[in-house]
Structure 1
């Protein structure tokens, strides 16, 4: 059972998705259930995790409504205001939503360097941990030190690092620094990592498998075969490559370096992490 551990869905609106600029014209269209079903079927996936792309409860509920329509979506990673004093009450409204497996905040978009030190945000993360929800960590590589500090305050939280923490693959800048910080996070057995979103951090038009291999090798060595999962980051990945291309580059790497772990990395680990 192959599970794509990271994809998005949207009805495109230029105001709500203002981060999609003219360099991403391929994304300026709808990506909904029909497109998802066709794409996953063509690539041999029988399940997926739908991840939030907007920071609204409206989108969380929309994704959950889509998940009710198909067995293909095994879980939803939504958004909720973790700093809200009413967080407990808001979460209680989702008690019956079995496919709501976790939450994410677009920390990469936060300009405040102290955002991850906010005591209300940390308290919100602890609430998620207490209720058994998972957390997707979306950050840039330069935010890793703050993330390390933040997660040290929530040791019981199960976390997966999205897009290998977005190192600058295009230039290879600060590779060793990224490597060291990822090693620190990997010491926590509750922290997983997605092999996702890599081509969009490389040169969109001229990336090569060789550009990505040092990063994939680092993730596999640090987190091991049981804490790594494949995610396409479709449709965002389309700015740099087709779904089949993205899948194949990771599959080839795993076949060459850990062939015995293929089923885990392409499904079992996501199933365990998201409790689906």
Structure 2
């Protein structure tokens, strides 16, 4: 069982936030934030509150009262013509503010200049991996299997394989009905470390939906190169279901173990549904039966190892 002092005093719990975003709308072009508003088409629903600058001061404000010792910035859907510009900007932000600690930029695995973009990212010292989203189906009832840009596309797989050349990890972001396919990819590339984003996006909280989600996670967990981020539990319309969220967290940790699960906030996107404090308390509540060593792994140590973070500067 856990020892109460650590869990009572949240200020002493070291946190590595394994997934968040920053953006300056004057410094770059973010189509989803600056172009035509998509409204309810966004996976969490209305996101008007996100269409503003979100910089280091805002992140520090939102995480105040908690001991965040390091963070991982994951690409924020900046214009795909500005992929390296985002990496450059983030290194400037890190130099002036101390965060983010490391960076996970974007490159499409099928873009014509993929190798040049990868090489350019690799010149920046804090780049640790790549997030590149495959083409996915809109629902579990549809299939895009084998189409261009999917996880079966030979050119897409060739692009993924290029990460190994740089020692980059891959941030995997697909809805739960594609997790089993992602496990096939993980089996093909055992030397590429993979981080499942947003707990595998278990949007369907019915027994049938969660069963399919757990099956997909179990297939991925069979491969030791795969880790999972405990993040983004919000549901459509900005709904936060505390009881269901705790169940999802417990199930994910039971499948992957505390050695391959990482806490992450997904700020500021997660603020549509919950504050940083609510997210932390929800994860801690779900892990109440785990001891302090396990909680320390989930909240900091696993992310530091996966993303090769030196938190001494924080």
**TM-score over 0.5 for the pair:** yes
Instruction: State the match for 1:148 in structure 2.
Output: 183
Q: Does 1:266 align with 2:294?
A: no
On the 8 A contact 2:20/2:264 being kept in 1, the answer is yes
> Does the Cα contact within 8 Å between 1:108 and 1:138 map onto a contact in 2?
no
CA 1:123/1:28 → structure 2, altered by over 3 Å: closer, same or farther?
A: same
1:19 & 1:182 partners in 2: Cα distance? Answer: 33
Match of 1:211 in 2: 244
Cα distance in 2 between the residues matched to 1:45 and 1:157: 27
Q: What does residue range 34-183 of structure 1 map to in structure 2 within 5 Å? A: 34-54=57-77, 56=80, 57=83, 58-84=85-111, 86-107=113-134, 112-114=144-146, 115-171=150-206, 173-183=208-218
> Which deviates more, 110-119 or 94-103?
110-119
User: What is the CA deviation profile of residues 244-270 of structure 1, one whole-angstrom value per residue up to 9, with x for unaligned ones?
Assistant: 111111122223334431211111100
Given that residues 169 and 202 in structure 1 are in contact (C-alpha distance below 8 angstroms), is that contact kept between their aligned partners in structure 2?
Answer: no
Structure 1, residues 156-193: CA drift from partner, whole Å, max 9, x if none?
11001001111125545421111111101001111000
Using the TM superposition, give the Cα deviation of residue 42 of structure 1 relative to its aligned residue in structure 2, in angstroms. 3.0
Bigger Cα displacement from structure 2, 7-16 vs 172-181: 7-16
**Cα distance in 2, alignment partners of residues 219 and 225 from structure 1:** 10
- Structure 1 residues 99, 40: closer, same or farther in 2, change over 3 A? farther
Residue 227 (structure 2) aligns with: 192
SS in 1 for 2:128: strand
The answer on whether the counterparts of 1:67 and 1:99 sit within 8 Å (CA) in structure 2 is: no
Q: Equivalent residue for 2:16?
A: 3
- Determine if contact 2:187/2:223 at 8 Å carries over to the other structure: no
Whether the 8 Å CA contact 1:169–1:211 is kept in 2: the answer is no
3-state SS in 2 of match to 1:63: helix
Contact 1:59–1:78 (CA<8 Å) still a contact in 2? yes
**Residue aligned with 2:243, SS:** helix
TM-score by length of 2: 0.79
Partners of 2:282 and 2:204 in 1: CA distance: 15
**Structure 1: gaps (5+ residues):** none
Equivalent position of 2:257 in the other structure: 224
| TM-score (norm: length of structure 1) | 0.89
Q: CA-atom RMSD, angstroms? A: 2.4
Change in 2 beyond 3 A, CA 1:63/1:106: farther
**Structure 1: distance between partners of 2:53 and 2:136:** 23
Shift of residue 6, structure 1, vs aligned partner: 0.7
The aligned residue for residue 21 of structure 1 is 39
* Inter-partner Cα distance in structure 1 for 2:308 and 2:250: 26
Matching residue of 1:247 = 280
Q: Which of structures 1 and 2 has the bigger CA Rg?
A: 2
107-116 or 58-67, which moves further after superposition?
107-116
TM-superposition CA deviations, 1:97-132 (whole Å, max 9, x none): 111111102337676443111112111111102321
State the number of aligned residues.
274
**Partner-residue secondary structure (3-state), 1:82:** coil
